[in-house]
């Protein structure tokens, strides 16, 4: 478990690129370390809330629920990412649901304090805008992939996107295959068959969540 002051420095240094003493002092009084077990729900779409999160360890899936009760994945949150950062601008209600995919260690920051920090520090505003821009670009790529009728092409496009972002043909899926299937609009069974087929065709090598693309 990380000490809170170390977690705050990691947030400021890794996310903001700053170690401003004033920001450190503010966050010391408006943040805490939170540990969450695997599969736990952090918050539910539409639920009122007061906390913004910085991921120290683990991963989270953000998702929405359709009227028929089915779910679709919006984003996978990984280490050193902020999520629920729009809470102050959405009437204090979470726009999505969040579930832990692994045991989590989080730095929680009170939303009102985060709003004050945004008002005081233009660099933080720019950092949030950059993070949101990257996320929107990811959404656009996902939407483009989902517009492809064949699931195989969706999967290959998704793997290529992960590979390009990491600049490597060796990637790790950001979530279990069940959740990847939800993101790609298919079933876990279909996804498993596709991975097996791609292996047989010599296009990928699969070992759990570790994937090697033999053709980039």
CATH number at residue 8: 2.60.120.10
Domains identified in the chain, total number: 2
The confidence score (pLDDT) of residue 196 equals: 94
The confidence score (pLDDT) of residue 150 equals: 87
Same domain membership, residue 174 and residue 118: no
The confidence score (pLDDT) of residue 19 equals: 67
Domain assignment present for 142: no
The confidence score (pLDDT) of residue 30 equals: 86
Domain assignment present for 187: yes
Same domain membership, residue 169 and residue 69: no
62 within 8 A of 97, measured Cβ to Cβ: yes
The confidence score (pLDDT) of residue 18 equals: 64
Same domain membership, residue 165 and residue 61: no
- The pLDDT tens digits of the residues spanning 7-66 come to 988 888 776 666 667 777 878 888 999 999 999 999 999 999 999 999 999 999 999 988
Domain assignment present for 198: yes
Same domain membership, residue 154 and residue 129: no
Domain assignment present for 141: no
CATH number at residue 157: 1.10.10.10
Domain assignment present for 23: yes
Structural domain harbouring 200: 148-213
- The pLDDT tens digits of the residues spanning 181-194 come to 988 888 999 999 99
Cα separation, 211 vs 173, in Å, equals 7
- Whether residue 1 has pLDDT greater than 60: no
Same domain membership, residue 153 and residue 110: no
Same domain membership, residue 120 and residue 19: yes
**Of 114, 128, 121, 132, the residue nearest 18 (C-alpha):** 121
Give the contacts of 39 (CB within 8 A, at least 6 positions apart): 99, 100, 101
The confidence score (pLDDT) of residue 97 equals: 96
The confidence score (pLDDT) of residue 212 equals: 93
The confidence score (pLDDT) of residue 112 equals: 84
Query: Of 107, 133, 159, which closes a domain?
Result: 133
Q: What is the pTM of this model?
A: 0.76
Same domain membership, residue 111 and residue 74: yes
Same domain membership, residue 185 and residue 108: no
Same domain membership, residue 207 and residue 114: no
- The pLDDT tens digits of the residues spanning 152-164 come to 988 998 898 888 8
Domain assignment present for 39: yes
Same domain membership, residue 105 and residue 167: no
- The pLDDT tens digits of the residues spanning 93-149 come to 999 999 999 999 999 998 888 777 777 777 777 877 777 787 777 777 777 776 777
């Amino acid at each position: 478990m990380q000490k809170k002051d170390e977690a705050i420095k990691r947030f400021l240094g890794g996310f903001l690129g700053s170690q401003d003493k004033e920001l450190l002092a503010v966050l010391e009084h408006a943040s805490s370390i939170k540990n969450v077990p695997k599969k736990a729900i952090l918050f539910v779409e539409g639920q009122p809330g007061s906390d913004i999160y910085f991921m120290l360890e683990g991963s989270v899936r953000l998702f929405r629920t359709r009227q028929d009760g089915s779910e679709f994945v919006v984003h996978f949150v990984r280490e050193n990412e902020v999520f629920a950062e729009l809470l102050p601008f959405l009437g204090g209600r979470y726009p999505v649901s969040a579930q832990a995919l692994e045991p989590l260690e989080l730095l929680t920051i009170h939303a009102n304090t985060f709003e004050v920090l945004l008002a005081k520090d233009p660099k933080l505003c720019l950092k949030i805008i950059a993070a949101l821009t990257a996320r929107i670009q990811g959404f656009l790529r996902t939407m483009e992939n989902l517009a492809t009728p064949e699931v195989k092409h969706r999967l290959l496009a998704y793997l290529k996107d992960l590979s390009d972002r990491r600049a490597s043909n060796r990637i790790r899926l950001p979530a279990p295959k069940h959740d990847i299937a939800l993101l790609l609009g298919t079933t876990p069974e279909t996804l498993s068959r596709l991975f097996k087929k791609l292996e047989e065709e010599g296009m990928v090598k699969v070992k759990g969540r570790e994937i090697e693309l033999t053709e980039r």
